[in-house]
Amino acid sequence: MPPDFTHERDLMAQGLARIAGVDEVGRGPLAGPVMACAVVLDPDRIPAGLDDSKRLTARRREVLAEAILAVAEVSVGVASVAEIDALNILRASHLAMVRALAGLSRLPDIALIDGNLLPRDMPCPGRAIIKGDALSLSIAAASIVAKTRRDALMMDLAQQFPGYGWDKNAGYPSQAHKQAILDIGVTPHHRRSFKPIHNILCHDKSLTP
């Protein structure tokens, strides 16, 4: 079943007119930032075919992202690798979500957050929806934009740091990526708090005389 507008319409019936869907991408990779997106859809201009970004091809995501940007209000928030290492990946993901909400032209009446936890320091009321990107059109739209933006960023970084395959794996721990870390080394864009990177760095230090 594709996502629908049920959650949003129920809230609108309660008088909450401005509703943002929020999702993040990039919790699992070994490299690159985590990115979140907040989307406020126009109920009368929802692009056809919105779905959980994981169910869509890269080309379909790109087409839908353009369609979303043409008719909806969109804001993207980022938490850096340094922030991921300092805070932990969950808190950094939440920080990116809060930044995405804060970047809207005005705060929503309520934000629908993908997951089972609301971020700390929410700038507006929120509702957590487990598997929200598969249930809510607003969250699905946010997942699509966040995924396309982060993939584009990782493709740019792949040009600067060739050999890791970031244009194909987006920093996720593919076998080729993990082998490249062993062969080439760790870049400034790798998350040092993540166990595979941490173990490599500790191993290197143990070999230093």
* Residue 139 within a domain: yes
Q: Which pLDDT band holds residue 196 (cuts at 50, 70, 90)?
A: confident
* Residue 190 within a domain: yes
The beta strands (E) that lie in 41-164 are given as 73-79, 110-114, 126-129
**Number of folded domains in the chain?**
1
* Residue 170 within a domain: yes
Tens digits of residue pLDDT in 77-134? 999 999 999 999 999 999 999 999 999 999 999 999 999 999 999 999 999 999 999 9
* Residue 108 within a domain: yes
Which residue range(s) make up the domain with 150?
A: 6-204
The H or E element spanning position 38 is strand 34-40
Sign of the CA dihedral running 79, 84, 90, 92: negative
Judge residue 143's burial from the number of C-beta atoms within 10 Å of its C-beta, 0-12 exposed, 13-18 middle, 19 or more buried. Answer: buried
Cα distance between residue 120 and residue 146, in whole Å? 20
Closest CA to 2 of 47, 41, 63, 42: 47
CATH number assigned to the domain comprising residue 121: 3.30.420.10
Cα distance between residue 177 and residue 6, in whole Å? 40
Q: Are 138 and 113 in contact (CB under 8 A)?
A: no
* Residue 61 within a domain: yes
Full-model pTM: 0.94
pLDDT for res 209: 40
The H or E element spanning position 34 is strand 34-40
* Residue 209 within a domain: no
Tens digits of residue pLDDT in 23-76? 999 999 999 999 999 999 999 999 999 999 999 999 999 999 999 999 999 999
Q: Which pLDDT band holds residue 172 (cuts at 50, 70, 90)?
A: very high
